[in-house]
Structures are given as C-alpha cells and as structure tokens.
Amino acid sequence: MIEVDVQCCSEEESLLNKIECLYDTKKCEEKAKKRKRIIQILVFSVILFIIVIILGTIGYMFLFNLSFLDAFYHATLIITAISIDIDVVTVGQKLFIIVYALVSVIILLSIANSLIQNLFDIFVKE
C-alpha cells in the first residue's frame, strides 16, 4: 500500500493533482532509496578498502619483517599503484606482492564501478 504525504496532498485537491502527488511521492521514495544505496556502497567500500590495507600491512610485516609503519607504507604504495621500493628476494614475497597488487586493483576498480554506476542512475537517468 502506498502512503500519501499529508503535506503534499490535501483533501481539496482534484483527483488529477492527487495522482500527480502520488507519482511524485513515489519518485521521491525512489530517490531516497537510491541515495541510501549509495551510502551503503560507500560504507562497504571504505570497510573493504580498510580490510585490504590491513591484510597488506600484515603480509608485509610477516613476509618482509617490517615494522608496522613500514609495512603500512608499502601496502599503500601497492594499493595506490605508485611503486614498489623494497627488495623482493623470496618466491613467497614475490607471490604476495603479485596477488596483493592484483586483488587491490580489482577491488578498487569494482568499488569505483559500483559508485559511478549508482551515481549515474541517480543524476543522469532522471
């Protein structure tokens, strides 16, 4: 059942105005749902980004025997695709960097795609 906004539709309005009002109310509800969806995506994206940084930091700490700050620094270098400035010696270290870089890029591109698509739905399609 569709609820009618009392401020929008008073008893004196004609049937046509009430129908238009119902349509606008529905349209407003759809916009609110889309905005809520974008907020959910943003929150999920931030949480996912933090998890990726934490996992990268932990990997650098254990595989390269780095301090927390150095490991965090190297994890952010990889996830932002800036560069790598550490000596990679073992096969495990090489595999970690490869997998971490690929997963990071895929996750960031997925987040960007989802945000752009939802923003496009709200602002361009309407």
Look up residue 89 and give its two tokens.
């010696």
Q: Cα separation of 88 and 96, whole Å?
A: 10
**What proportion of the chain, given as a percentage, has pLDDT over 70?**
79
Amino acid at residue number 106 = I
pLDDT score of 4: 47
Does the pLDDT of residue 11 top 60, yes or no? Answer: no
Task: State the helix-helix crossing angle for 15-64 and 68-79, rounded to 10 degrees.
Answer: 130
Distance CA(18)–CA(24), nearest Å, equals 10
Q: Which of 111, 119, 115 is nearest to 52 (CA)?
A: 111
Position 5 pLDDT exceeds 60: no
Domain layout of the chain by residue ranges: 31-123
Integer-rounded Cα Rg, in Å, for the chain is 24
Rounded to 5 degrees, φ, ψ at 70 are -65, -40
Mean pLDDT calculated for residue range 51-61: 93
Work out the mean pLDDT of the chain and round it to a whole number.
79
Burial of 89 (0-12, 13-18, 19+ CB in 10 A): exposed
31-123: CATH topology:
Helix Hairpins (1.10.287)
The string of pLDDT tens digits covering residues 23-50 is: 677 777 777 787 888 888 888 888 988 9
